[in-house]
Amino acid sequence: DTGVSQDPRHKITKRGQNVTFRCDPISEHNRLYWYRQTLGQGPEFLTYFQNEAQLEKSRLLSDRFSAERPKGSFSTLEIQRTEQGDSAMYLCASSPGGARTYEQYFGPGTRLTVT
Amino acid sequence: LAKTTQPISMDSYEGQEVNITCSHNNIATNDYITWYQQFPSQGPRFIIQGYKTKVTNEVASLFIPADRKSSTLSLPRVSLSDTAVYYCLVGTGGSQGNLIFGKGTKLSVKP
């Protein structure tokens, strides 16, 4: 399977703990995006990378959130000192960029529950 | 980015054609129109993208009138498995490309 993969699929953590999620994009895609989705809402953009460069961050991405894409391949999203409001589905997507930038391929998501 | 408006929900029956219309009155000259489908507990899936007139692929057709202020996603002969949320997005593919999702249209297909 050459689609976008995310790990873990589910994460339950206690408030105040740190969590890290991983995303493996489609190998030939140079753009990688992180989104967050809560129940009944559409996904909300968090941040995106072109290769290893993080080019944009949403205001939703507080200083407790950090994302990396060290070699322009996989990416990690870390949330420090989790809060109950962080409970959501975290989605990763990749895109070939250029004229096909809006053709994004999403992974299955990581569902985070903060207790 | 242009704001989009689409119905909150729609019902249909198996075998019918479903048309979901999206309004985007403030669409810019360089904006494309893109539709995504999302099943529960899955990430959205790209369906179709267009700029003007009509685009068709193996899944759906997209109709865009000359003024581009609206678009219609057409799903031929829907089945129960087409029950999902459908999102209409408008924006520029050449920019950062971060997608702005609304609440989408929840399509329920009944037997």
For the stretch B102-111, pLDDT in tens is 889 999 999 9
CB contact under 8 A, A48 and B96: yes
CB contact under 8 A, A40 and B45: no
Out of A41, A97, A102, whose CB is closest to B32? A102
Which residue is associated with the tokens 């129109």? B33
Angle at A58 between CA A52 and CA A60, to 5 degrees: 125
The answer to whether B101 and A43 have CB atoms below 8 angstroms apart is: yes
Count CB pairs under 8 A between chains A and B.
76
Peptide bond into A8 cis (omega under 30): yes
pLDDT tens-place string over residues A28-82: 899 999 999 999 899 998 999 999 999 888 887 889 999 999 988 999 999 999 9
B88 has which bridge partners?
B35
Out of A45, A98, A99, whose CB is closest to B98? A45
Closest-CA distance, B91 to chain A, in angstroms, reads 8
Query: Taking the CA of residue B21 as centre, how many other CA atoms within 13 Å lie in the half-sphere pointing to its CB?
Result: 6
Q: If DSSP codes are grouped into helix, strand and coil, which group holds residue A85? A: helix
CB contact under 8 A, B97 and A101: yes
Q: How far apart are the first and last CA of chain A?
A: 34
Which residue is associated with the tokens 């700029």? B51
> Which chain A residue shows the shortest CA-CA distance from B89?
A102
A91 burial type by CB count under 10 A (0-12 exposed, 13-18 middle, 19+ buried) = buried
pLDDT tens-place string over residues B57-102: 999 999 999 999 999 999 999 999 999 999 999 886 545 666 778 8
CB atoms within 10 A of CB A94: 25
Q: If DSSP codes are grouped into helix, strand and coil, which group holds residue B82? A: helix
